[in-house]
Structure 1
Amino acid sequence: MSSHHIVRDDQEPALIIANGASCSPELMGQLLEWSPLIIVLDAAMDRVMQLGIKVDVLLGDFDRGYDPETYLSYQYPLEIIRIEDQNSTDLEKAFQYLIERGIPSANVVWGTGRRMDHTITNLTHIVKYSSQLKIVLLDDYSKVYRLPYHFEKWYPKDTPISLIPVGTATGIRTENLLYPLQEESLTLGYRTGSSNSVARDGVVKITYQSGDLLLMECTD
């Protein structure tokens, strides 16, 4: 795996490495190649070090009792950001850091799997910060992001797509999905748009009027 990244442009998405289930080396390598800034949450640092990844920012509350400066001899230069706010998760702290730096987008890996409460919370964070930061959560099977109210993207036929509301999303209309929606509502826990798919090669269009809707591009 590449131990460095080559892009230096804050308009490219930063990469945040959380502490959930690992992704494949192939996915990690693709993201590292195009990420201008690599942020690691403190609980994941030892795992990241074992992969030989060059880190730019180590961030968290460091409540596990170790001295983060011990990593400086292995990761130099390394910016260490200690935020002891217990009312926010370490992933939220990373989002806030990027917002303060004016970086508009972030990819997140190792943000799913392991503990279910962490996975669900990380998914809802996509919505919480969507007005300030474009966030994409990725693992080996899914790519998840909040849909804008008007969305268009080309997909090959049979691509699995799920529309998952956070709360209730209303006035949903779709084009080129196998199971179309026409001015309909979805509500988490009652009705979702899970396991839909692209009807034919071409552009998928999705619009909705209110609420928050996650799009999940999935593979088996």
Structure 2
Amino acid sequence: MSSHHFVKEGQEPALIIANGESCSYEMLTGLMEWCPYIVALDGAYERVKKLQIQPDLVIGDFDSMEDVEMLEHTTYIRDKSQETTDLEKAINHLVKKKYSAINVVWATGKRLDHTLNNFHLLAKYTDTNIVLYDNHSKAFVLPEKYSKVYKKGSKLSLVPLHSCVGITTKNLVYPLTGETLSIGQRSGTSNSVLKDGEVTISYLSGTLVLIESED
């Protein structure tokens, strides 16, 4: 089984392996190198085992885990609550363990309802730095003031969860100046970086997700 280095609990992001479409093995193992604690949802357990990865924890309602092999050094938590999804159960567990940053893979693709719900969980846990990864994109909630250096042409999308007010950007091809984005009205998809250098994004209120994409 693959291993991962040990750091003090809570200092590095944890990794959740959900039950959507698999990302590349290279992406998965690359994230594992920086995540000291790995959680697999029960629906992904058999796929994870086939990759010779041993999670620290498997969590879910275990509807899909009848008569499966239990690994010696893995903890199993059965939570049959129908009030939360298995991904929410995993996030709640990590928040209780004082993780302030969580990376999530296999959370998109397959069922559209699961993908949409997983994306909207970003709005529920704004006090936790949650990043969704797949082979083409990385999505996370922006702080009210954000800056990062990007290469010219990098694809960036601004997606409001509900409504986001007073958005101002610098160094994007399609700039925003004190503008509002809202679901069903206006979004900021398929923007790109104007030139090599720092991109800044700020807003006054709401929840704004940044998606960094590659074709």
Normalising by structure 1, we get a TM-score of: 0.94
Alignment of 1:1-220 (within 5 A): 3-10=2-9, 11-64=11-64, 66-67=66-67, 70-72=68-70, 75-131=71-127, 133-220=128-215
Shift of 1:82: 1.4
Q: How many residues align?
A: 214
Q: Check the 8 A contact 2:130/2:140 in 1, yes or no.
A: yes
Percentage of pairs with the same residue: 46
> Alpha-carbon deviation of 1:26?
1.0
**CA–CA distance in structure 1, aligned partners of residues 60 and 107 of structure 2:** 15
| Distance apart, 1:101 and its partner CA | 0.7
Q: Any idea what the Cα deviations from partners look like across 1:39-60, whole Å, max 9, x if unmatched? A: 0000110000000002100001
The unaligned stretches of length 5 or more in structure 1 are: none
Distance 1:65 1:37 in 2: 21
Q: Does the 8 Å contact 1:163/1:192 carry over to 2?
A: yes
The TM-score normalised by the length of structure 2 is: 0.96
Does the C-alpha gap of structure 1 residues 154 and 93 become closer, same or farther in structure 2, counting only changes over 3 Å?
A: same
Matched letter for residue 46 of structure 1: E
Structure 1 stretches of at least 4 aligned residues deviating more than 4 Å after TM superposition: none
Contact 1:13 1:35 in 2 (8 A): yes
Aligned counterparts of 1:5 and 1:211: Cα–Cα separation in 2 = 37
Report the 3-state secondary structure (helix = DSSP H, G, I; strand = E; otherwise coil) of the residue aligned with 2:178.
Answer: strand
Q: Is the 8 A contact 1:178 1:199 kept in 2?
A: yes
Measure the CA separation in 2 of the matches of 1:33 and 1:137.
17
Shift of 1:33: 1.2
Work out the CA distance in 2 between the residues paired with 1:123 and 1:65: 25
- CA drift of 1:76 comes to 2.3
Distance of 1:153 and 1:86 partners within structure 2: 39
Q: CA RMSD in A?
A: 1.2
Cα displacement string for residues 51-99 of structure 1 (whole angstroms, at most 9, x for unaligned residues): 00021000011123615xx433xx2211111111101000000110011
117-126 or 3-12: bigger deviation: 3-12
